[in-house]
Amino acid sequence: MNKWLSFILLTSLCLPAYPQTMTNDPIVIVINAQNPIDKMTRSEVIDIFMGKYVAFANGDKAIAFDLNSEQDIKKRFYQALVGRSLASINAYWSRIRFSGRMRVSQQFSSSQEVANEIEGTKLAIGYIPKSLLTNKLKVVYELNE
C-alpha cells in the first residue's frame, strides 16, 4: 500500500506553516570566499539544500552545512526558501530516504559554528544571519523573508 503511505506523508507536508516573527537580521546564503561561484539563484540554493544536486553549477561538489537543532534561524531559513515548516522538511527527508537518498548536509549546533566551518571549507555552503558575515565568506543569495 505504497500509494496510501505516500498519500499520508505528502499530505502532512502540506500543512500550513506557522507565522514567523520578522527580524532585522536577514538570512544570507554564503560560501567560502575562495569559491569561484559568485551568485546563485534561489532554485540552485533549493536544489542543494533539498538534496537534488550535491554540486555547484560549475560541477564542483557542494557540501551543505545545516543546523542540527530546531533553532529559529533554521525555521526561518526553510520557511523563506521553500515555504515549509521544519516538520515538513523532516518528513520530506524521511520520505525520500526510502529511495536510498540520504541527507548529505553536515550538521552543526549554531550559526556561528556554520560560519566558521564555511570559512575553512572551500566547497561548503550554508546559511547564516547577515550579521555573522566575514570577509572570508561570500554571499551568493540573500533570502527575502
Partner 1 sequence: MNKSGLVTRLAIIITFAAAVVGFLSTQVFYRITYLHELEISKQEIVQLNTTVSATTSIASYLEDEELLKEVVNGLVSNSVVSSVGIKTKTLSIASTNHQIDDNSIEFQLFSPFEKDREVGSLLITPNIDHIQSRAEQISNDNVIAIAVQASIVTLVVIFVSVVIITTPIIKIAKQLHQITPGTSARLDIPLHHHHSELGTLVSDINSVLIKTEQHIKDERMLRTEVEKLGKNFHMLFENSTSPIILTEPKGDILLYNQAFLKLLERINVPFKKNYGPYLSELFLEPESLNNRVEIAFGNSEIASGEFKLQPSESSEQPIWVQAIISSSISDDYKEHYQITLHDISKRKLQLEDLDLKANTDELTQLLNRRGSEQTLTKFINSKTPFALIMMDLNKFKPINDIYGHDAGDEILIHIANQLTVTLRRRDLLSRWGGDEFVIILPNLTQQEVVEVAIKINESIKQSYFLEKYNKEVSVGCSMGAAFYPEDNQDLASLIACADKAMYYAKESHNNTFFCLYGQLLNEKKVE
Binding piece for partner 1, criterion CB under 8 A, among 38-46, 60-68, 69-77, 112-120: 38-46
**Coil, strand, or helix at residue 8?**
helix
Binding mask 61-100 for partner 1 (x = CB under 8 A): --------------------xxxx-------x--xx-xxx
- Taking the C-alpha atoms of residue 20 and residue 18, their distance in angstroms, rounded to an integer, is 6
Beta carbon of residue 17, minimum distance to partner 1 (angstroms, whole number): 13
- Which range, of 25-33, 44-52, 108-116, 127-135, touches partner 1 by CB under 8 A? 44-52
Give the nearest distance from C-beta 52 to partner 1 in angstroms.
Answer: 5
Kindly state the smallest distance separating residue 7's Cβ from partner 1, in Å: 6
C-alpha cell at 15: 500543512
Q: Which amino acid is at 45?
A: V
State yes or no: residue 54 binds partner 1 (CB under 8 A): no
Q: For residues 131 and 111, is the Cβ–Cβ distance under 8 A?
A: no
Residue 99 grid cell = 529511495
Q: Is 13 in the site for partner 1 (CB under 8 A)?
A: yes
| Distance, CA of 29 to CA of 9 (rounded, Å) | 29
Does residue number 136 form part of the binding site for partner 1 (CB under 8 A)?
no
Per the DSSP assignment, residues forming a β-bridge with 64 are 125
Residues 6+ positions from 43 with CB-CB distance below 8 Å: none
Among 101, 107, 109, 145, binds partner 1 (CB under 8 A): 101
Residues in the chain: 145
If binding is defined by CB under 8 A, does position 52 make contact with partner 1?
Answer: yes
